Amino acid sequence: MTRTLYIAAPASGQGKTLITAALAYHHRQEGRRVRVFKTGPDFLDPMLLTEASGHPVLNLDLFMVGEEECRQQVTAAAQDADLILVEGVMGLFDGTPSSADLAALLGLPVLVVMDASAMAQTFGALALGLKNHDARLNFAGVLANRVGSPRHAQLLASSLPASLTWWGSIMRDPALTLPERHLGLVQATELSDLKARLTLAALALPEALRCFDQLPSMTFQTPTLSTPPERWLDGLRIAIAQDHAFSFLYPANLSLLRTLGAQLTFFSPLRGDPLPSCDALWLPGGYPELHLTSLAAHSHCMATIRQHHEAGRPILAECGGMTYLTQRLISKEGGHADLVGLIPGKAAVQPRLAGLGLQTLQTPQGELRGHTFHYSRLETTLPPTTYARNAQNEEGEAVYCKNGLTATYLHSYFPSNPRAAAQFFLGHPL
């Protein structure tokens, strides 16, 4: 028997990540076994939720992961968890499929977190509208965030009809926020005071904690064991960049590579680590534009990557990893650095979002799903080999292939097509 909760909101930026993390951290400190999932193709929120829960946070997305796999992941987690928390994405009904679709599929009770900083009794009307909009949902209640005073909290609570459960409020306080930058939250490993923030947030949730303890437990069936894929990468050595500049890695992708037989080694271009001895290289997304000076200073590291490419060995470069391979990367403020130079041209960070959404890449092995989310634009003379497609079947992100290199803004979710993902590291994906 496992208690479960789906934490949603009427829009992005309402504070649901902090609430989810605070609940996870509190119960973990109480000695309970906590598992947390994040809806959608997100890298940054799962980093923070991993720190809060003490367990890797997997992504649930009906398009990218699929209905059956979403069920299987939650069912498997329930076998050894006292509680499961799932954080939603954007607004509760935003997107196709939406957070509401996932909550309904999994049968989880929904808590809505609402930023009440600029409203009073209208709070109740909005909450009631969210509750009544979709009869499939098991609506657990509503929690008010960024409340101005105890009197403000009373007004909000009194605006709720009897059919809605009040989960309490959190006062407006800079200490009860999480810092952000252009792609979302600041990475958890960069927050030296994260535990203090989570402790303070948990202390601000006495009413929510009481409500959570009153939720009925759910019984989950034993998960179905799926047939593992063939070990297409048996013995293959894959080096993976991982540091503050390169950190956008789905845990499910790493797990799959190991299941396929790969041996994974991690290194830090930001520290100047030379490329380890390997058969293939993976440069994931992240924030290279925030570390231009440090990355450019490590010429030996970049030289080992060029040597790897000259030898014809495979490289997968996603988003920030691709911009690191350009001749020049330009920050939003206009600072620039000459980097690895395997991709002719330059990438420049824009003041506004340049790419966002779920996309599909057609490969000789079938459909590979993923997403794109970036502020930079690439200008290169290298012709695209193919393009991904978005949900409307329109042309999406370009994919560039050159002498074993595959470079694209697309972040692929490897379990959506293990055989296609394996080809990135065997040197012939498209």
Catalytic residues: 319
Output the six-digit token pair for 316: 């997968």
Q: Which residue has the tokens 């960070």?
A: 349
Residue 272 burial by CB count (10 A; 0-12/13-18/19+): exposed, middle or buried? middle
φ, ψ dihedrals at 117, nearest 5°: -65, -25
Work out the burial of residue 90: count CB atoms within 10 Å of its CB; fewer than 13 is exposed, 13-18 middle, 19 or more buried: middle
Cβ proximity of 291 and 400 under 8 Å:
no
